[in-house]
Amino acid sequence: MWGSISNPARDIATAALPDKVVAAAAVAPDATSPQPPVDLVPHVPSNYPHFTPFVENVDQYKAMYQRSIEDPDGFWADIASEFHWHKKWDEKHTSWNFDVRNGPIHVEWFKGGLTNIAYNCLDRHVAAGRGDQPCFLWEGNEPKDSAVMTYSQVLGEVCRMANYLRSIGVGKGDAVSIYMPMVCELPIAMLACARIGAVHSVVFGGFSAEALAGRIADCKAKVLITSSGVMRGSKKIDLKAIADKAVEMAELNDEHLVSTVVVQEVKHAVTREHTHFVQGRDVWWEDALRGQPTEAEVEWVEADHPLFLLYTSGSTGKPKGVVHCTGGYMVYTFTTTKYVFNMAPGDVYWCTADCGWITGHSYLTYGPLLVGASQVVFEGVPTYPAADRCWQVVDKYKVKQFYTAPTAIRSLMRAGELYVKEHNRDSLRILGSVGEPINPEAWRWYHDVVGDGRCPIVDTWWQTETGGHMITPLPNTWQQKPGSATLPFFGVVPVIVDDKANELQGEAEGMLCIKQAWPSTLRTVYGDHDRYETNYFKPFPGYYFSGDGARRDKDGYFWITGRVDDVINVSGHRIGTAEVESALVAHPKCAEAAVVGFEHAIKGQGIYAFVTLMEGESYTEDLRRELIASVRSHIGAFAAPDAIHWAPGLPKTRSGKIMRRVLRKIASKEEDQLGDISTLADPSVVQQLVDLRGK
């Protein structure tokens, strides 16, 4: 059965696939080819009668999947042929080593090929006559503010920005930092970098000056593109003031950084008159682009030329600059966008993520434009001015695919059904979830209330490092189970391993690893290939280690159980406990800090900090506030601890290692389930901590 297409009625699916993919997928694999770990559930007849999936059933999926992992060169080349390549890739274009025991880790896709992702996102569609189609449907923080930009208009603006960047000496391989709110100029700036082969580094607008400074300095950005300000709900944020401070801090150690700051004016937040401007260094976006032609030469880059770096938190040290490269990332984000959201050109799609995170890169700036969708770019928050904002916007633009995070779903669920029911939502076809495990209760509410039971849910598991969806349902192709990300996408070979890197078969629970390279595999950690190998490939030799735990059930479905390292997932944002700890310890009155996650009804996980003060300092509310402020200024408001627990001492082993397991139990009030604490150097600290709870 594996490898054959059993359903003959697949005309629609076939129409949506490159012919060669379908034809080759129908060829049964030989006996020596990798076999699926367990059999999959049979396809259950459709629950969604009005919905026709591109991949019609599980058998067709299996055939395509099988080919994708056995013949990656052929499978992905067929899809890549849909794009414009200035020079075609070599016949055998992939090569990788995922095993540290066999030498340096390296990954190559579309070797020999030259292309440009911005060209494929924009020029290709304009050339095909889609220039007048809306590309961005911008929806401001206030419901009265909105704007539409067509593909031609976006292309024109991208070219003008590209020309300007070139005029100030930015070229192939140079890093550009971007620190902006969700205005169309943000993806435009990203695409302008891509057009000239510059490497963008977007920093989420919620990060503090210090966090931005670290990211500017690490990649040695020549230019910073920012905005005057932003309204977040009813709060005004002076982004430029933060950016100024960041540039100053970054330059303390290296005066050759940022030579130009481009400032885009967000009039409804902070006007020009109220923006601090550094003569000779700063330039207004409008002035920079004035007189620049709306056409710009394309920089054709090698498929493995870096497209961007994006900083993400890990369990140790400072955030890592994850590097993604052009060709593989382009083909993979396109393919996942197309199949996971069942998206056709012209579909109206809305992803609520910010471009500061990977979801905004892959499923806002790049994937949907590669498909040719019209997409909502939303500046605001889901609960402003009221908790019905999302559904009002869905109706306004007739959104077909909606993609958001469980934390948003839970907060809207709490606001109540009435907000949803006030709006009709009949344009919706697919509902996506990303960022953290979705609890079955939120899943059901999303499915039954938001989608009126008509829309399949795609619970997509992936990471900054993976660039695109890894384990995800294909909508209406197989049966869903609330809370499970279900099955691997094409080209992805997930395995569950035990502590000793043994692969576990069948039903199993353990560490989630990936066995072979997929097109958008991260290529390195910027400036630190050793760290790349140590973090991702050394923990379980032979595999990429995700940092997540997972369980595989009897039907082969994957259930992500959450991070197994010291990373906390707060509202879908990854925060390293080490980063929060060092922000706390930076306060002169803090001697030591230990941070753990705890279950939070809305955010998924909250941040719980145990703090030991310097000798002679006392516990006060003011100090608690100062400690939280320290985290806000070192990282950003989104990383502020939810709880500070005073700790005269921390539970440590005799070798001085903090036992976080014990702290987690205390944070979640489960000290009756501490287990064996006999290895603690001083077991009495546990009772002291319990006594100080809530103090």
Can you give the binding site for ligand 6R9, defined by CB under 6 A? 312, 357-359, 433-437, 459-464, 485, 546-548, 560, 562-563, 569, 572, 574
Q: Is 565 a catalytic residue?
A: yes
Q: Between 260 and 460, whose beta carbon lies closer to ligand 6R9?
A: 460
Rounded Cα distance between 361 and 400, Å, is 20
Q: How far apart are CB 221 and ligand 6R9 at their closest, in Å?
A: 21
How near is the Cβ of 408 to ligand 6R9 at its closest, in Å? 13
Name residue, tokens 């591109």: 54
Q: To the nearest whole angstrom, how small is the minimum distance from the Cβ of residue 370 to ligand 6R9? A: 18
Give the residue with the Cβ less far from ligand 6R9, 258 or 560.
Answer: 560
Q: Measured from the CB atom, is 282 or 548 closer to ligand 6R9?
A: 548
- Nearer to ligand 6R9 by C-beta: 59 or 465? 465
Of 570 and 663, the one with the shorter C-beta distance to ligand 6R9 is 570
For 401, residues 6+ apart whose C-beta sits below 8 A from its C-beta are 341, 342, 343, 347, 349, 350, 428, 429, 430, 431, 432
* DSSP conformation class of 658: B
What letter does residue 178 receive in the DSSP assignment?
E
Q: Are 362 and 333 in contact (CB under 8 A)?
A: yes
In 541-583, which ranges are E strands?
544-552, 558-563, 567-570, 573-576
CB of 491 to ligand 6R9, least distance (A): 17
- The position carrying tokens 């940092």 is 547
* ∠ CA 107-563-611, rounded to 5°: 125
Rounded to the nearest whole angstrom, what is the least distance from the CB of residue 668 to ligand 6R9 in the complex? 19
Q: Shortest distance, CB of residue 376 to ligand 6R9, whole angstroms?
A: 19
- Cα-Cα-Cα-Cα torsion 552, 558, 562, 563, nearest 10 degrees, comes to 80
- Quick check: 127 and 552 in contact, CB under 8 A? no
User: Any long-range contacts for 487-491 (C-beta under 8 Å, 24+ apart)?
Assistant: 487/40, 487/61, 487/556, 487/557, 487/558, 488/65, 488/558, 489/336, 489/339, 489/340, 490/64, 490/65, 490/68, 490/75, 490/335, 490/339, 491/68, 491/69, 491/72, 491/75, 491/76, 491/332, 491/518, 491/519
Adjacency order of strands within the sheet including 430-434? 146-150, 134-139, 374-378, 348-351, 401-404, 430-434, 457-460
Active-site pick, 354, 459, 565, 566: 565
| Residues with catalytic roles | 565
